[in-house]
Amino acid sequence: MASDMTAPILDALSASDAPLLSNEAFPSTPSLTVKSALDRLGSRQMIEYEAIDKDILTLTPEGEEIAANGSHEAKVFAAVVAALDGLKIADLPGIVGKDNAKIGQGNAFKRGWIKKDSDKLRATKESIVDETRELLLSVQSTKSLSDSKVLADLKRRKLVTVSKEITYKFSKGPKYAREFVKEETDLTPEMLASGSWKTANLKAYNFNAKGAPTPSGALHPLNKVRSEFRNIFFEMGFQEMPTNRFVETGFWNFDALFVPQQHPARDLQDTFYIADPLHADPPREDPVDDPHRLQLAQTSSETQNKPLDYQQYWDNVHEVHEKGKFGSIGYRYPWNADESLRLVLRTHTTSVSAYVLHQLAANPRPARFFSIDRVFRNEAVDATHLAEFHQIEGVIADFGLTLGGLIGFMEVFFKKMGIHQLRFKPAYNPYTEPSMEIFGYHEGLGKWVEIGNSGMFRPEMLESMGIPKGMQVYGWGLSLERPTMIKYGVSNIRELLGHKVDLNFIESNPAVRLEKE
């Protein structure tokens, strides 16, 4: 803590009715320390003060050299005078040095101290006054210069630098007293009981005081955008899916989604596999007491069916891949159960959607689900890609859904985040048919950007898990990072996530609002 200057200030003033200058009265005290004491005394009118901005001039090393030994031109003049019968121009650098010769010669000519006589320099007078040196000597001792033109010239010649110094001029105020009596900041029951409040020196409220910033945690921009998306989903009647399983089996991440086992997405280059343990147990239902287990809302009259037996589901997936089933001819390759039990860091949250849809299949009815959580891909990290990111995923199950309905829904959904123009491009996902990439026109960027991927889940996937024919399911996914980067104007994803993140940015970034309809 800085030392309290209130007493020294009051002491200094007791001896003087004239204003004092802080740099003279307290030359070695930092001006901020003086200022805080002046503020405290000033707020009680014990003193009055004003701040005086002053330019402080300092000689540069070159300026110091001139003040000590004379200007370039004076050195040239001295050399020429010393030569008695003129000085050969070519000899000058050897005597006074290159720099002095170059600068000093010109200046000495300008001042009319020397003249040229064929190849010699001759003095035109016996003595000169070295004004530059005199000027610098005066600046050195007073640290000031009143002629602004001359000062500008010295600055241009890099002989002098200017810095600011704040000095306070202070004097006695109307309530000046020798001593600074501590003011009461609280009216206590004791003061009321004893009556001392009547004479107490109560501190006045300072309504202009700014509150000190309260140290606190801060929400990461991704969390802020995430909660905006959650609200959009909730207001559209979606239920949140449990996304606590970062490690999934190949079954939920791929096979259940009709992704063939030789699909490139399942390569080591694209997917992180877990080395230990190598394999999981076959899929089974979460324990009833699992806190993350999805609670599907049921009407009281409805009887809760059990989901399709897992062995049956497993066999269906096996068959639909290898031979085909439910009207599909399948991929026709030998399906390997071990591959399905390998453990992966989930590459998309569609693994969660598959698990939840399988639960829904027990009591098929219209339903809307969403999730927003982390996924992992074995990608080369660059400005727009990380090996882990977040996916926003939505799923709508209903009877008689059509592709037109999906397009219509997307228009409503993206309008809620301020994107009013959409384009759809046919795409391919192993688990949806048809599939569409979604592009949105970004007003701020002035161009079309890819914002998501979508489709209608295939019967091979849905019927294997027991979803009845006639019920269709839309699915779509987008990254959380993309809209966050656009919202916060971050162009490098590594500034948003990972070890390069600037904590000040996280702490001070503004709240996010999507321009909703």
Tell me which residues touch ligand PHE (CB under 6 A). 348, 350, 393, 429, 432, 453-455, 475-477
Question: Which of 369, 347, 302, 312 is CA-nearest to residue 479?
Answer: 347
Rounded to a whole number of angstroms, the minimum distance from the CB of residue 461 to ligand PHE is 10
The answer for residues whose C-beta is within 8 angstroms of residue 57's C-beta and 6 or more apart is: 139, 143, 144, 145, 151, 160, 161, 162
Rounded to a whole number of angstroms, the minimum distance from the CB of residue 429 to ligand PHE is 5
Count of beta carbons in the 10 Å neighbourhood of residue 348: 21
* 466 Ramachandran zone, left/alpha/beta (phi>0; psi -120 to 50): left
Nearer to ligand PHE, 342 or 458 (CB): 458
Rounded to a whole number of angstroms, the minimum distance from the CB of residue 253 to ligand PHE is 10
Nearer to ligand PHE, 316 or 435 (CB): 435
Rounded to a whole number of angstroms, the minimum distance from the CB of residue 353 to ligand PHE is 7
Nearer to ligand PHE, 168 or 476 (CB): 476
Rounded to a whole number of angstroms, the minimum distance from the CB of residue 445 to ligand PHE is 21
Task: Give just the sign of the alpha carbon dihedral 142, 144, 145, 146.
Answer: negative
Distances (CA, A) of 196 to 362, 380, 383: 78, 74, 68
Are the C-beta atoms of 227 and 358 separated by less than 8 Å? Answer: no
Nearer to ligand PHE, 251 or 476 (CB): 476
Nearer to ligand PHE, 455 or 466 (CB): 455
Rounded to a whole number of angstroms, the minimum distance from the CB of residue 498 to ligand PHE is 21
Distance (Å, whole) CA 39 – CA 2? 14
Rounded to a whole number of angstroms, the minimum distance from the CB of residue 213 to ligand PHE is 41
Cis previous bond, 434, omega within 30: yes
Q: Which helix (H) or strand (E) holds 135?
A: helix 131-142
Are the C-beta atoms of 461 and 487 separated by less than 8 Å? Answer: no
Rounded to a whole number of angstroms, the minimum distance from the CB of residue 1 to ligand PHE is 57
Nearer to ligand PHE, 6 or 239 (CB): 239
Nearer to ligand PHE, 112 or 408 (CB): 408
Distance (Å, whole) CA 278 – CA 319? 24
Rounded to a whole number of angstroms, the minimum distance from the CB of residue 432 to ligand PHE is 5
Distance (Å, whole) CA 124 – CA 77? 10
Distance (Å, whole) CA 55 – CA 148? 11
Nearer to ligand PHE, 359 or 453 (CB): 453
Phi, psi of 449 (to 5 degrees): -125, 145
Are the C-beta atoms of 239 and 369 separated by less than 8 Å? Answer: yes
Nearer to ligand PHE, 22 or 432 (CB): 432
Rounded to a whole number of angstroms, the minimum distance from the CB of residue 295 to ligand PHE is 22
Residues in the chain: 517
Distance (Å, whole) CA 28 – CA 34? 10
Nearer to ligand PHE, 168 or 376 (CB): 376
Distance (Å, whole) CA 23 – CA 27? 5
Rounded to a whole number of angstroms, the minimum distance from the CB of residue 446 to ligand PHE is 25
Are the C-beta atoms of 368 and 236 separated by less than 8 Å? Answer: yes
215 three-state secondary structure: coil
Per DSSP, the residues of 476-501 read EEEESHHHHHHHHT---GGGTSSTT-
262 three-state secondary structure: coil
Rounded to a whole number of angstroms, the minimum distance from the CB of residue 478 to ligand PHE is 8
